[in-house]
Chains A and B, each alone.
Chain A
């Protein structure tokens, strides 16, 4: 039997799980994200004190929001501009005056959908959208977000503060956008979640490759979006994509932290539940004819997920899917991955023909996967000298210690 959780653990868990929901509700009611955050943080500090002395309340999250609201009321009354805050004060007083056993007192309206649209407002820079989403809905601390982007915490703090100020000054409302704007706005939200997941899937620098917290966070947030927008095919596709990629997490890294190639992964370590869920989502979504890049990427990942062994991978299917994806997103990234798939479906030489088209693309000079792929393809095509150069370039562009080790080993293996 497990020991009961300590007060600190309960607080940490409650905050982690409920932060987004509580904050969204507060921010929307107060029409002020910064104020909401300040009050909620103070409520959490109070909780650590009170719950430690008096034991845990019946409903920790209700306790937090009630205390946060009281603090907000306090601050608003004392603020210089309280006359303009009449509505917010009235709202808070009304909640405050409800009897304690009124179920509505404990109900925390779910305003997370409104919040995520606010965080992903087009007025904000993409990086700020991501940071704000992680902060408000994910409940990540500024330090954690800074670490994800390898920023200085002070820079990230400034960025987040600026973003909140933009929202306040711009009068950006905490609401779901109008129908006409919705498709574009949803697209932005999904992009932000995709980026957050990608950070976790392949951390861009540092000594570890995976940041499972971020991937898990992205999945959690995407689940919320899917639940709130059940008819959006790409949202569902994005969730499937995340689950299917994430299913391989435990097989991607070895005991010494080394990267294990897809080809060499122990497929018994793939998470079957995540695969099942991802595939089920696709089975339901694909027939709806709302096909898009996320669903296609999910389908590609599903082909891998459902293949019992590397040798049995249906590469022809993967190539077909990449060609479809390329038609929608004719980017270098997609092209390089298409080429790699072609190298397995057909030959490395066929793949190199495609790679030639990428060679002239913009930003290719700093594009590490291009060189990693070229090294592999050239080596397999028997063009040893050129392969060596490519591998060297790839290593040069890598910032991740494990990536570098992987590339060195690959070069050694392929070039004897």
Chain B
């Protein structure tokens, strides 16, 4: 039924506070992440446990698109 599909799971906002309830959220904060080597594994109920993803399966859609960080380093 059309109505059912719209009653999805509660997408409680992960960034703002609702009615005073503070949630632990993740974000790009330099003071911990860049300065102190801190990082936060996002809530595991929301994300599947990590399985190391080794090889990129070439997509038939359109050529291979590299997903690698581009690091510039002049020696």
Contacts and interface: CB of A to CB of B under 8 A. Distances in A.
Interface string B1-34: 0101111110101111100001111111111111
Contacts of B47: 127, 149-151
A171 B2 contact: yes
B2 A170 contact: yes
Question: Could you say which of A48, A123, A362, A407 has the most chain B C-beta atoms within 10 Å of its C-beta?
Answer: A123
A301 B8 contact: no
Contacts, number: 231
Interface string A269-304: 000000000000000000000000100010011001
Interface residues of A, number: 105
A340 B8 contact: no
Residue of B9, B38, B65, B68 ringed by the most chain A CB atoms within 10 A: B38
Contact of A172 (B6, B22, B32, B37): B6
B10 to A, nearest CB: 9
Contacts of A169: 2, 4-5
A407 to B, nearest CB: 5
Interface residues of B, number: 59
Contacts of A8: 63
B50 to A, nearest CB: 4
B3 to A, nearest CB: 8
A332 B22 contact: yes
Contact of B17 (A11, A190, A328): A328
B5 A170 contact: yes
A369 B8 contact: no
A331 B22 contact: yes
Given A201-B28, A337-B31, A340-B32, A399 B17 contact: no
Interface in A114-148: 122-127, 129, 140-144, 146-148
Given A171-B5, A211-B69, 16 more contacts: A12-B62, A125-B11, A144-B65, A149-B48, A152-B51, A201-B33, A204-B50, A205-B50, A248-B34, A250-B71, A333-B25, A333-B40, A368-B39, A373-B36, A373-B38, A394-B37
Contacts of A265: 34
